[in-house]
Chain A
């Protein structure tokens, strides 16, 4: 049993209304040290076996074709959940 974690964020240059609303709310709660917020999505993809390079490649394809909208979002990482702590991040 393995898990691939995919993180998707709105492109930096694209307006992120959700992040704007959250940063405004933080300010009202006097948590004003946070100057900007952007809100993205995390997906966890389960596989029966280990997370191999092939699985990661397939996950990357899934991330770029379905999980993200390439017009407005970036896939910022596709990684093995267990290996994440070891710092094996794979920005694609």
Chain B
């Protein structure tokens, strides 16, 4: 091809003839033994393009080389019974579960932490874009997004820099795609200073027969790249190679960050759905990290033959890109399809209808290798599995951190507790005005929660609920949770508490928990203490899921979340998905009517270590987190689901951070309906005082409101399920009154609860 830019391409021939050429493997982040391993796989030195591919695909981010040995437990501990509802498990772009009536749902949570610190708006935006493409690549229509966000202290100046940008990035991108944002978390802790966590979840649905997979099968089938043009995005590390292959002046500057184009993604979504409906796609893969390298090697590994592609056929935004850079570019809003030759014309017509550029890069071959050409030059000839799946696996050293004994010994028993009703009232107001418990509408009002008209419930309710089938009302509920203070104190217990909370939130909304996705945010895997935390967390989640009978369907690991030597608290964010046969039956989480009976479900123990109270009142973190009791969580879930099914519940709210006090205050504030509560049944049964009853964070608890006329039937359901309960009060009035302790006007609760984030951001 004479019109190609004149690169001195490092071809397979050259590599074979010049085996001793110096290569910048170390600059590309490869270890010496990894480089040797590549030479052994190829039986020669890699070409510069191959070196680029291996270096990125074998990176921690793409290969999971430090986490793999631990993540295996998610598969190993999944029983056959758990697998029954699992249509596609770990390893594909996203897991798929059967929610009944022929519907399949796919969901996944991922991180985009580091890019969001560098350029908050674009980093967060492209995070949403990436997870949405994962869901699309399963053949699904994306239904909704959620975004758990974690920042440094609310009053730290850098939080005011990153928070508005991250929120506007999530909002702008998600809103422009027409995907309702139905929940997530906003959490502040100084451990995230300099390392905010931006996790993003997407859920999509399809008919079970429409599931698509990322595999390139069928010799002669065509490989089509479609979507945005390819630019020099995300290839910073690889430019060391580009500079060596350029003839003259060297490459143009490469972008430090990527800019997302939500409009291009929205069009790509509709285009993909049209392509699926027309049945012209045999295999599909999104382009994310490592770009074409990842997409082609994944597709080819999962297929039954080899693959040939031609990089000179990639539509470019920046014509100065070298072949290596094209191969590695992470430009957004692109997809790759495997198309039977007879269906290409129909494929191209649909792409043209949506003004989506599509280009045939090559085809599936009967060989064994992935071969990449630039004109007539063969730049890559590798076994695709060696790139995509057979990377190095590390058993990194683990060590329980030495500080943990002291930390766990430093409980809250010695901290001053409120003594009088007035003290308690002040404590409650301080709690609901604290950054982690205050009203988050400054953030959530920037997200469209209504688009597509299927949102039955969103923030600030416990779980997001979205309808899947417009005829029957069948739908799903989702919640993401993690209390990083608990995981810091005890990563095993803390991780199970995250799982338990998400499980509880979904059940409290009236949905039967079905499956789990997790986003594991940790510090450096090279730190044995961090690696121990990671190992504990994965083991805990795999064990916990086995007890609860809900499989992990996929997720993501994000390491190196630290500033200098200081790692973030272990933050395994757990997303639980549940199913409702009709979303109309869901339980809302605030009181809508006066004169309803209020019930506290579950038992309360003196468990204040790591609590919101310890943080807000004493800036204290130490001791042991609350007891994990997964059997009690299952009992609670089955009791609530049975009562929901009978239509007995007018509202239900999970108790977690801030305990009963927070649950009561939030239920009052939701619709401005007050309550009168008497704690004495709880105090006498559980042997706790008013403070513990209100502020303890004992798990497996919820509050529910019931029409007075249904109280008897409700109690019968609870007794039948063996669920502990206490009738603690009645809704109504303009106050939250706790008998014998305090009375707080709703307006005082509201003025404490609102405006906190807004005023911090306006400074």
Which residues does A use to contact B, with CB under 8 Å?
10-17, 20-21, 24, 69, 71-72
Contacts and interface: CB of A to CB of B under 8 A. Distances in A.
B254 A15 contact: no
A48 to B, nearest CB: 29
22 contacts: A12-B252, A13-B231, A13-B232, A13-B254, A13-B255, A13-B318, A14-B255, A14-B257, A14-B259, A15-B231, A15-B255, A15-B258, A15-B261, A15-B317, A17-B263, A17-B264, A24-B355, A69-B119, A71-B118, A71-B257, A72-B122, A72-B257
B253 A72 contact: no
Most buried by B among A10, A11, A12, A14: A14
Contacts of A20: 261, 264
A20 B227 CA distance: 13
What DSSP secondary structure best describes chain B's contact surface? loop
Nearest to B121: A69
B324 interface: no
Given A12-B252, A15-B231, A21 B257 contact: no
A71 B258 contact: no
Contacts of A13: 231-232, 252-255, 318
A45 B231 CA distance: 34
A70 to B, nearest CB: 9
A89 to B, nearest CB: 22
A50 B245 CA distance: 51
Interface of B: 118-119, 122, 228, 231-233, 252-264, 317-318, 331-332, 355
Nearest to A15: B259
B255 A11 contact: yes
Most buried by B among A15, A21, A72: A15
A20 to B, nearest CB: 7
Contacts of A71: 118-119, 256-257
Contacts of B258: 15
A72 B165 CA distance: 14
Contacts of B255: 11, 13-15, 72
A61 to B, nearest CB: 19
A12 B255 CA distance: 9
Contacts of B122: 72
B263 A21 contact: yes
Given A24-B355, A71-B118, A71-B119, A17 B252 contact: no
Given A71-B119, A72-B119, A17 B261 contact: yes
What DSSP secondary structure best describes chain A's contact surface? loop
Closest 7 pairs (CB-CB, A-B): A17-B261, A15-B259, A13-B255, A71-B119, A14-B255, A13-B253, A14-B259
B330 to A, nearest CB: 12
A58 B18 CA distance: 56
Nearest to A21: B263
Contacts of B317: 15
Nearest to A36: B317
Nearest to A28: B355
Nearest to B318: A13
A10 B258 CA distance: 12
Contacts of A10: 259
A10 B231 CA distance: 14
A71 B161 CA distance: 14
Nearest to A17: B261
B182 to A, nearest CB: 26
A72 B257 CA distance: 7
A37 B259 CA distance: 16
A47 B232 CA distance: 40
A69 B118 CA distance: 11
A82 to B, nearest CB: 33
Contacts of A72: 119, 122, 255, 257, 259
A25 to B, nearest CB: 11
B132 to A, nearest CB: 16
A74 to B, nearest CB: 10
Contacts of B260: 17
Contacts of A16: 259
A14 B257 CA distance: 8
Contacts of B118: 71
B332 to A, nearest CB: 8
A72 B355 CA distance: 26
A71 to B, nearest CB: 5
Contacts of A69: 119
B259 A17 contact: yes
A12 B317 CA distance: 11
A11 B255 CA distance: 8
Contacts of A21: 263
B537 to A, nearest CB: 33
A56 to B, nearest CB: 26
B648 to A, nearest CB: 51
B331 A15 contact: yes
Contacts of B253: 11-13
A19 B252 CA distance: 20
Contacts of A11: 253, 255
A79 B122 CA distance: 30
A40 to B, nearest CB: 14
A20 B333 CA distance: 14
Given A71-B257, A72-B255, 7 more contacts: A13-B232, A13-B252, A17-B260, A17-B261, A24-B355, A72-B122, A72-B259
A84 B246 CA distance: 39
Contacts of A12: 252-253
A32 B723 CA distance: 71
Contacts of B261: 15, 17, 20
A10 B228 CA distance: 18
A72 B253 CA distance: 12
A10 B122 CA distance: 13
Most buried by A among B119, B232, B259: B259
A21 B228 CA distance: 12
A38 to B, nearest CB: 12
A10 B343 CA distance: 39
B232 to A, nearest CB: 6
B343 to A, nearest CB: 27
A17 B332 CA distance: 11
Contacts of B331: 15
A10 B261 CA distance: 14
Contacts of B252: 12-13
B610 to A, nearest CB: 37
A12 B318 CA distance: 9
B265 to A, nearest CB: 10
A20 B264 CA distance: 10
Nearest to B118: A71
Contacts of A14: 255, 257, 259
A11 B258 CA distance: 11
B231 to A, nearest CB: 6
A15 B260 CA distance: 8
Nearest to B355: A24
Nearest to A71: B119
Nearest to B253: A13
B719 to A, nearest CB: 60
Nearest to B320: A13
A72 B232 CA distance: 13
